[in-house]
Structure 1
Amino acid sequence: MGQTARVSAIVWIAAASLAAWLWLLLCQGFFWRTDVRLPPRADPGDWPSVGVVVPARDEAAVLPQSLPSLLAQDYPGHAEVFLIDDGSTDGTGELARELAKRHGGLPLTVGSPGEPPAGWTGKLWAVRHGIGLARAGAPEYLLLTDADIAHAPDSLRNLVSAARTGGFDLVSQMARLRVESVWERLVVPAFVYFFAQLYPFRRIAVRESRTAAAAGGCVLLRADAAERARIPDAISQAVIDDVALARAVKDSGGRIWLGLAEGVDSVRPYPRLHDLWRMVSRSAYAQLRHSPLLLAGTVLGLAVVYLVPSVALIVGVVTGNTVALVLGGLAKAVMTVTYAPMLHYYRQPPWLALLLPVTASLYLLMTVDSAVQHYRGRGAAWKGRTYARPDAAFEEQ
């Protein structure tokens, strides 16, 4: 009797998992498709001036691969780069000046804002300083890009063209992250897949939709839209600053767009699981607004959606329960099919889709660890800074 009840419970849970997957497949903005890309470049008629702001803290290891690509932008209008050295101890600012002398290209200004005051994250304080320097030249657009992002020579042209011809106040591209190590192959494509599941790209561009997100590594923003949304002051404590930025712009009436990138690549390596773990866990609980209830719901949801199909398959095989076998198999099939396009985008073999439950288990543990670190007072720790207890302004982001 007890075993029968357990098998029956598995059947019902497997049915719930399959229902969840069918809903995700058909009703979550077709998040699994990877064809949301910048449109073909069109001549906007004029090429507005752009201030490129690059916050950088201890980035000497990646700067030789990224900064020259910005300086070498083939852009018909006026553009200049402002690299803001956020208290680096590895000679980031000096290296930036040396690279500019060696490679030439767009003019480079290296600034330093000093330590952030209370109520600011280091990155956003650096961005604020960079925007202030850029505004002296009255640029029409600001390109906010991370120090580990390498841009193809036509990247700025494509971004401005898309913003100008599409009427967008914010255009962001999800940089293609590095996938070379075993752990990168297992974790990175899923990171973008999960992000798109939370923030379906197709909905972001719909003015009436509440969905808002950007990818902080590459954000082109109209300067007047930044002023209207009070960027970055309005999001000064946001650890997940890209999503908060997009929300502020959209809430102030701006049109925003986010898609997958071609020619915008992260050069930062994450060779070990520890490196990827830190990348995810530093902000995972902030994404849940530091809510124990949302944490419990997320853990339960991850288990039901990603782990139950495999469990139901095993139970079906072991017990001979055809219903559990079919429900689990169908749910796993939908999961595999929806993950395959992201693996293709990252040029990874399709069989890796079978390991998505393993990757989801890692993300579940990373999320729980993020909550544990928060309650230990360590909060979102990154490059020597810890944002332990955000105030109410941050909690609303």
Structure 2
Amino acid sequence: MSILAWTAAGSFAAWLWLLLCQGFFWRTDVRLPPRREPDTWPSVCVVVPARDEAAVLGMSLPSLLAQDYPGRAEVFLVDDGSTDGTGELARDLSRRHGGLALTVDSPGEPPAGWTGKLWAVRHGIGLARARSPEYLLLTDADIAHAPDSLRELVAAARTGGFDVVSQMARLRVESVWERLVVPAFVYFFAQLYPFRRVGRKRARTAAAAGGCVLLRAAAAERARIPDAIRHAVIDDVALARAVKNSGGSVWLGLADRVDSVRPYPALRDLWRMVSRSAYAQLRHSPVLLAGTVAGLALVYLVPPVAVTVGAATGDGAGALFGALAWLVMTGTYVPMLRHYRQPLWLAPLLPFTAFLYLLMTVGSAVQHQRGRGAAWKGRTYARVHAAPDEG
């Protein structure tokens, strides 16, 4: 066989392995596990770090204040140095909507070695501990929850004995670029951290989705959350690893009624969202970057190239193996498109989306080498390293 055929055969073999041996990552049926309502509902404190979130807070915070929770619960919104009136808007929303008690406070600028979000989370957890809650719900300011979200999370945690129950919020998919990029983002995340493996107590795989994390307060203290992960850019994965490494159990799945309301209308918005943490995911390692680029090329780019070049040059074996790899790739992406209620004709375009992610990852590395590192909402973490458990 030709070099093209051998390369395409390698891609096909890689896809067979991903299909059967990577925790069935492509399935989208991992939802909240079986649960029953406890006889006594534990107390919960909701911690919401918020920096310049006035544009989305009106769509998210009222959903938290309106939680139909039978136990004691209250919300702590930590205004992380906002300049757009986020804190005052939160107080106004609380006055107008009522519901759960709301406390708004600010921790000041983060000290060296802390990311802004985790410094805000630390402050919020500190305020919450005065109430001695059994659980903490860490949720982002752009996440809207169904009225029964908190009670369902708590019931799942109590029934399954989990220290962390996290749901991957359904991201906004309305613009053309959102349709092309967003479902693939969740698909790639599940490929890296198969949800079924995360839920196995003896499995090393650990991850969470930062927009919705119910955390047992005792587990947070045992794992020294958030101090142990204070410099983690990918804080949700670092949190889950810290909890698992301290003997805790973690569950992660897809959400049906927890939604992100943040828009990403243009490609540059999605590019910024992905590239700010892509190189941190690789522990800022040029070797891992080179391996990732090569792996993405082999798995996602070789199939369409092999089909095109093989058909043009008469290399039947190369075209055949490329087509088979592309077919398996397309089939594994279909469930995620269905989850996001997107047209299935987008599935064969996954190689193009993967190429965009490859460019975003390289761009993230270039930004890091220029000393700009992870940049978000006016803060730049030039040399923030991944937490030891984050890799």
Pairwise same-fold verdict (TM > 0.5)? yes
TM-score class, shorter-chain normalisation, is over 0.9
Q: For 1:332, which of 322, 326, 331 is the aligned residue? A: 326
TM superposition shift of 1:43: 1.2
- Residue in 2 aligned with 1:384? 378
CA distance in 2: counterparts of 1:55 and 1:67, whole angstroms:
12
- Residue in 2 aligned with 1:296? 290
State whether residues 289 and 395 of structure 1, in contact with CA within 8 Å, keep that contact through their aligned partners in structure 2. no
- Residue in 2 aligned with 1:4? none
- Aligned 1:20-39 pairs, distance under 5 A: 20-39=14-33
Give yes or no for the alignment of 1:174 onto 2:165.
no
Q: Which moved more, 1:382-391 or 1:155-164?
A: 382-391
Q: For 1:52, which of 17, 34, 46 is the aligned residue? A: 46
Give yes or no for the alignment of 1:394 onto 2:387.
yes
TM superposition shift of 1:395: 5.6
Amino acid at match of 2:18: L
Give yes or no for the alignment of 1:19 onto 2:13.
yes
- Residue in 2 aligned with 1:116? 110
- Residue in 2 aligned with 1:3? none
Q: TM-score if structure 1 supplies the norm length? A: 0.97
Q: For 1:225, which of 219, 244, 255 is the aligned residue? A: 219
CA distance in 2: counterparts of 1:11 and 1:46, whole angstroms:
63
Give yes or no for the alignment of 1:74 onto 2:65.
no
- Aligned 1:1-397 pairs, distance under 5 A: 8-390=2-384, 394=387, 397=390
CA distance in 2: counterparts of 1:172 and 1:26, whole angstroms:
25
| Structure 2 portions without partners, runs of 5+ | none
CA distance in 2: counterparts of 1:111 and 1:243, whole angstroms:
26
CA distance in 2: counterparts of 1:330 and 1:210, whole angstroms:
32
State whether residues 203 and 209 of structure 1, in contact with CA within 8 Å, keep that contact through their aligned partners in structure 2. yes
CA distance in 1: counterparts of 2:388 and 2:123, whole angstroms:
24
Q: TM-score if structure 2 supplies the norm length? A: 0.98
CA distance in 1: counterparts of 2:347 and 2:298, whole angstroms:
17
State whether residues 35 and 159 of structure 2, in contact with CA within 8 Å, keep that contact through their aligned partners in structure 1. no
Moved over 2 A (4+): 393-397
Cα-Cα RMSD:
1.0
Partner SS, residue 51 of structure 1: strand
State whether residues 242 and 389 of structure 2, in contact with CA within 8 Å, keep that contact through their aligned partners in structure 1. no
| Structure 1 portions without partners, runs of 5+ | 1-6
TM superposition shift of 1:41: 4.4
CA distance in 1: counterparts of 2:315 and 2:359, whole angstroms:
30
Partner SS, residue 89 of structure 1: coil
CA distance in 2: counterparts of 1:40 and 1:223, whole angstroms:
22
Amino acid at match of 2:49: P
Amino acid at match of 1:361: F
Partner SS, residue 58 of structure 1: coil
TM superposition shift of 1:316: 2.1
Partner SS, residue 29 of structure 1: coil
CA distance in 1: counterparts of 2:53 and 2:303, whole angstroms:
42
Amino acid at match of 1:136: A
Amino acid at match of 1:202: R
Partner SS, residue 242 of structure 2: helix
CA distance in 1: counterparts of 2:146 and 2:373, whole angstroms:
35
Q: Which moved more, 1:212-221 or 1:382-391?
A: 382-391
Partner SS, residue 62 of structure 1: helix
Partner SS, residue 394 of structure 1: coil
State whether residues 164 and 215 of structure 2, in contact with CA within 8 Å, keep that contact through their aligned partners in structure 1. yes
CA distance in 1: counterparts of 2:67 and 2:207, whole angstroms:
26
Amino acid at match of 1:80: E
CA distance in 2: counterparts of 1:272 and 1:83, whole angstroms:
29
TM superposition shift of 1:390: 2.3
Amino acid at match of 1:147: A
State whether residues 47 and 125 of structure 2, in contact with CA within 8 Å, keep that contact through their aligned partners in structure 1. yes
TM superposition shift of 1:319: 1.7
Amino acid at match of 1:161: A
Amino acid at match of 1:76: P
